[in-house]
Amino acid sequence: MTELLSPFDLRGLPLKNRVVMAPMTRGRAGVDRMPNALMAEYYAQRAGAGLIITEATVISPQANGWQNTPGIYSDEQGEAWKQVVDAVHAQGTHIFLQLWHCGRASHSSFQENGELPVAPSAIKLNGEYVHTPIGKQPYETPRALETAEIGQIVEDYRQAAERAKMAGFDGVEIHAANGYLIDQFLQSKTNHRTDKYGGSIENRYRFLKEVLESVLTVWSPNMVGVRLAPNGSFNDMGSPDFRETFLYVAEQLDPYSLAYIHVMDGLGFGFHKLGEPMSLAELRSVWKGPLMGNCGYEQSTAEAAIQEGNADLIAFGRPFISNPDLVDRFANGWPLNPPADMQIWFSFEKEGYTDFPTYQASQSAV
Ligand SMILES: Cc1cc2nc3c(=O)[nH]c(=O)nc-3n(C[C@H](O)[C@H](O)[C@H](O)COP(=O)(O)O)c2cc1C
């Protein structure tokens, strides 16, 4: 019997199966960062999932750090998201919006008045280059946020959450993974602050706590998820005290009765190699609510994680790019399309976005 394809009650939200579409930036929103009909078509094609988490969506102009990604900081953007939500709801699928602030993983050319990107501390991302509106650029040393500025960013999250609610989303996911602003605050590698937002783990967690509590003034807890990447090295992350940090964070999140925590436990998106990787089973000891695993899962390993009780849901990223009908393929034992060429991940074009064939379409074309 398949558990992966069986329904799941996500704290009151009925999911038709436990396959989640992982958040994936695809850069099709244009320079105005406006959700559009093409994006609605793309998400609707993938609505076999029990839950879709949108691509990371910037909460303010300051949050930008990636070309052509959608925003949710204007009323027009909020309005434009409705076509995506409606297209997914028409397929009987629920959809959460992922809230994003890039922090230091940005560049002055994305920022208003060419200002430096902001971060908890002035520590440059050690990476080759960043893709910007003016081409590939070396990373810059970000500006450390003043204590007094942090409240406005927390407020930006709240306003974004409010717009997401008005757009009809079923919930929001707070992106606290992959070396973006919240992760930069959580981790000792990137947070060297000496104010109440830095130093102890409790202080490093404070920014996430404030963001979460501001979002919870808009959404009820069972409609809010948090994404964490304890093992990841993406965006030059990985801290020696990762285990202590993320056990503490999961433990702190537990009493809120949130929809889920979404943990990138697999190592296929970069591993910092600073110790034994953290497992879902380990997080279960401190987090009692719904647990979503991700990263490098296949149907069989996802099934095993759920059957063994380590996960309730599994998010699939790359497999959904080239297999819009991923769940049908799982259900019928149909083979998967080959992985998509990385060139098309962020090509800004329709090609390589909505043109992957379903299994049945590919068969009738033969
Ligand atoms: C093209 C692409 C874009 C991504 N964009 C995001 C994103 O916007 N937000 C996020 O949290 N993770 C993002 N990720 C990470 C995925 O959500 C997922 O964690 C990763 O692909 C590993 O899962 P997989 O092995 O099933 O692909 C992205 C990954 C890919 C390949």
Q: In order along the chain (366 residues), what is the average pLDDT of each group of 10 residues?
A: 95 98 97 97 98 98 97 98 98 98 98 97 97 95 98 98 98 98 98 98 98 98 98 98 98 98 97 98 97 98 98 98 98 95 85 94 82
Beta bridge partners, 143, equal 118
Residue whose CA is at the smallest distance from ligand 1 atom 2: 24
- Which pLDDT does position 364 carry in this prediction? 83
- Which pLDDT does position 90 carry in this prediction? 98
- Which pLDDT does position 8 carry in this prediction? 98
Q: Is 28 exposed, middle or buried (0-12, 13-18, 19+ CB in 10 A)?
A: buried
CA distances from 303 to 278, 281, 296 (A): 19, 15, 13
Q: Note whether 72 and 78 are within 8 A (CB).
A: yes
Q: Note whether 337 and 357 are within 8 A (CB).
A: yes
Mutate to test the pocket of ligand 1, among 313, 318, 320 (most ligand atoms within 8 A of CB): 318
Q: Note whether 28 and 71 are within 8 A (CB).
A: no
Mutate to test the pocket of ligand 1, among 20, 24, 43, 314 (most ligand atoms within 8 A of CB): 24
Helix (H, G, I), strand (E, B) or coil at 294: strand
Distance 314 CA to ligand 1 centre (A): 13
Helix (H, G, I), strand (E, B) or coil at 99: strand
- Which pLDDT does position 344 carry in this prediction? 84
Residue whose CA is at the smallest distance from ligand 1 atom 10: 23
- Which pLDDT does position 366 carry in this prediction? 65
Distance 307 CA to ligand 1 centre (A): 24
Q: What is the pTM of this model?
A: 0.98
User: How far is the C-alpha of 46 from the C-alpha of 56, rounded, in Å?
Assistant: 17
| Number of the ligand 1 atom closest to the C-alpha atom of 346 | 1
Mutate to test the pocket of ligand 1, among 19, 25, 237, 271 (most ligand atoms within 8 A of CB): 25
64 lines ligand 1 (CB under 6 A): no
- Which pLDDT does position 266 carry in this prediction? 98
User: How far is the C-alpha of 227 from the C-alpha of 181, rounded, in Å?
Assistant: 13
Q: Catalytic annotation on 180?
A: yes
Q: Domain 8-365 maps to which CATH number in 3.90.550.10, 3.40.190.10, 3.40.50.300, 3.20.20.70?
A: 3.20.20.70
* Concatenated DSSP letters of 215-245: HTTTS-GGGEEEEE-TTB-TTT---TTHHHH
Cα angle 338, 300, 40 (rounded to 5 degrees) comes to: 55
268 lines ligand 1 (CB under 6 A): yes
* Angular region, 228: left φ>0, alpha ψ -120 to 50, beta rest: beta
User: How far is the C-alpha of 230 from the C-alpha of 249, rounded, in Å?
Assistant: 10
| Number of the ligand 1 atom closest to the C-alpha atom of 177 | 11
Residue whose CA is at the smallest distance from ligand 1 atom 13: 24
173 lines ligand 1 (CB under 6 A): no
